[in-house]
A and B are shown apart, each in its own frame.
Chain A
């Protein structure tokens, strides 16, 4: 047996296990604390290094430190949208229940990250650019992303029947994926007040390592936080969706007995 087929088998089995709501619930049950603790540790260490150890910026002074919230939130806003659209596509193509759950639970989380990126950016912009808001490409496209998240959530809640709602929401999130590359490249395509790519710039990151390390820690921490929140809300949604099935009734009864 060649190694690829072993890996493929493993992926195949994981995929099918994740596809079943019951299995997913079980996996999430012990993944949630791991993700939660990892995200807490990463965010705390990143915040400590970023706020106390990293040197002040030579131009912006200490006000640059908001980057440690702003950039992770902005990254996550795009990453979550991509995950949502990919999950929606998987759900549409392979009719996978859990893919829709992941997509739907991602929408509010992504909206929160987008709002956080916009708010922290605005707070950062006031001392550095001298304005809370400017109508340039990066800011405008990020705002459109926020509205798209709202549209996706509104679509899901507009339908009475869950299956229709899932499919309608999936279609919209797939269509909206066009905005992601626009946001990502907006600082290169248009002249903008917003600074260009700094971490993934040509010729390596344009940042000293004692500023960059906390940033990467924060980004990883935000990602694990997203995973943690996603698992929690997906578990919640699975219980609600499958409330008529036997295993959920057993689960709830057992929990009630043990208390």
Chain B
């Protein structure tokens, strides 16, 4: 547990001392989402019906973009290699790192999503549906994505490979997350999607740290 907090704290400090890089995923998220109203006919009904899905896709892409930097700096200065060599509890350490990373991406995106809902004319009473979905879904996105980031950290151009590896694994989360908002627009219950997203989160929270540690051990030598 102390390893987790230690790595969380370290990552947190490193991120918040570089505020420029911190807001990048958020800005990317907003821009991607806003490209859609520009490129589509400005009909309120159309925007309203695609809004939830578009915001989810933007969140997935913003998470994907932020993944490459997750281990990169640590790998460059050798910290990551040292952690792999001497850290006895590598999964816990990596979990702390990933949670810190999520607070700077997924948490920000979720908190900012109501603003985007306004631009897509999504009714106010459905803001929370999207918010809860993103809050449950984005940690899984970051955790699963970290596996891909760990696998490709030694590669010079790993960005495209991360996308190829990770996006298929993101599809189920995207389906349930976006399905939640389209169901609630039709006035249906969304509790089953909430449970599914929570189950995916539980699974990835417990299993992904081991996969991340295994991936780092496999590729760093």
Contact = CB atoms under 8 A, between A and B. Distances in A.
A116 interface: no
A37 interface: no
Interface residues of B, number: 25
Contact of A164 (B161, B175, B219): B219
A248 interface: no
B161 A154 contact: yes
Interface in B180-209: 203
Contact of A167 (B164, B169, B171, B218): B218
A144 B164 CA distance: 11
B155 A171 contact: no
B135 interface: no
Contacts of A179: 168
Interface stretch (B78-86, B105-113, B146-154): B146-154
A223 B147 CA distance: 32
B147 A151 contact: no
B17 to A, nearest CB: 32
B39 interface: no
Contacts of B203: 178
B168 A171 contact: no
Contact of A168 (B169, B171, B215): B215
Contacts of B166: 151
B32 interface: no
A158 B165 CA distance: 12
A162 to B, nearest CB: 13
Contact of A151 (B164, B171, B215): B164
Interface string A137-155: 0001000100110110011
Given A168-B151, A168-B218, A147 B167 contact: yes
A124 B116 CA distance: 42
A52 B218 CA distance: 52
Given A155-B151, A158-B161, A170 B169 contact: no
Contacts of A147: 164, 167-168
Nearest to B161: A158
Contacts of A51: none
Nearest to A135: B175
Interface in B129-163: 144, 147-148, 151-152, 154-155, 158, 161
A175 B167 contact: no
B37 interface: no
A154 B218 CA distance: 16
Nearest to A176: B169
Interface string A206-241: 000000000000000000000000000000000000
B164 A159 contact: no
A56 interface: no
A92 interface: yes
Contacts of B215: 168, 171
Interface string A163-182: 01001101110111011001
Given A147-B167, A151-B168, A175 B161 contact: no
B114 interface: no
A158 B169 contact: no
A133 to B, nearest CB: 15
Given A164-B221, A175-B147, A159 B211 contact: no
Contact of B155 (A159, A167, A172, A182): A159
A94 to B, nearest CB: 15
A125 to B, nearest CB: 20
Contacts of B158: 158
A206 to B, nearest CB: 28
Interface in A33-49: none
B164 A175 contact: no
A168 B218 CA distance: 6
Contacts of A172: 147-148, 151, 165
A111 to B, nearest CB: 12
B165 A170 contact: no
A152 to B, nearest CB: 8
Contact of A171 (B161, B169, B211, B221): B211
27 contacts: A92-B218, A144-B171, A147-B167, A154-B164, A155-B165, A158-B155, A158-B161, A159-B154, A164-B154, A167-B218, A167-B219, A168-B218, A168-B219, A171-B147, A171-B211, A171-B214, A171-B215, A171-B218, A172-B147, A172-B148, A172-B151, A172-B165, A174-B211, A175-B211, A176-B168, A176-B169, A179-B168
